[in-house]
Amino acid sequence: MDYKYILASGSPRRRELLGLLNVEFEVVPAEGEEIISSDVPSEVVVSLSQQKAKEIFHKLLRDNKYALVVIGADTVVSYKEKILGKPADRQDAGRMIGMLEGDSHEVYTGVTVMYTDEDGNEKSFSFYECTRVNCFSMSDAEIEGYLDTDEPYDKAGAYGIQGAFGKFVRGIEGDYNNVVGLPTARLYQEMKKHGLV
């Protein structure tokens, strides 16, 4: 099948990670309002990834002659079962980093792939990946220094593991790419299983 791959996310990090799968794809970010109806991290990320994939799939399906494969993803940081989204401001970012430093937390990414099969039927599958992240203790000066960077403000949990925060990460249990925003190895295996790569 001649698939047209679409990433339903504007995240530059997800774009880089999807590029590792060696498929040509276009980026069409989902713009719909996110509706959260759970406080369980794994359920939240799967639901949000489904909303993103569905929005773009149905938007593009109308005027597309190709067999579509739309990939939606969403990532949250969870500390003691509490979801940490993107910080509202510096104070909020400081509060989050203060919780995470010197302790462990989980990063969940939900992924939904919607596609059309050979008969033009709409199909989809979803999964989530969880990675445990262990952080070193940080001094007040180190936290303030980190908050002075641009890094915390557009990321769940107020940090990016691939950036300046990396020096405070003691280690991880699970998939590193999942923490960055897309569990590429699991995605590849799932797409292979469904004949999409």
Strands 169-173 and 122-135, sheet pairing: antiparallel
| pLDDT in the model for residue 65 | 66
Q: What is the pLDDT of residue 85?
A: 87
Amino acid residing at 153: Y
- Would you state the torsion angle of the CA atoms of residues 31, 8, 111, 186, taken in this order, to the nearest 10 degrees? -160
> Could you read off the pLDDT of 14-49 as tens digits, one per residue?
999 999 999 999 999 999 888 888 999 999 999 999
Range in 13-17, 91-95, 120-124, 126-130 the model is least confident about:
120-124
Residue with tokens 């989980």: 106
Is pLDDT larger for residue 108 or for residue 37? 108
For domain 3-193, which CATH number applies: 3.90.230.10, 1.10.3720.10, 3.40.50.1970, 3.90.950.10? 3.90.950.10
Q: Which residue among 2, 63, 74, 175 is the active-site one?
A: 74
Query: What is the predicted pLDDT for the residue at 75?
Result: 94
Among candidate residues 180, 178, 175, the one with its CA nearest the CA of residue 165: 180
Task: Tell me how far the alpha carbon of residue 169 is from its chain's centroid.
Answer: 19
- Please report which confidence band the pLDDT of residue 64 belongs to, taking 50, 70 and 90 as the band edges: low
Token readout for 115 is 């596609």
Average pLDDT over residues 109-121: 91
CA-closest candidate to residue 71, choices 124, 33, 34: 124
Q: Is the pLDDT of residue 97 over 80?
A: yes
Mean pLDDT of 188-197: 95
Asked if 134 and 172 count as a contact pair (C-beta separation under 8 A), the reply is yes
Is position 74 annotated as part of the catalytic site?
Answer: yes
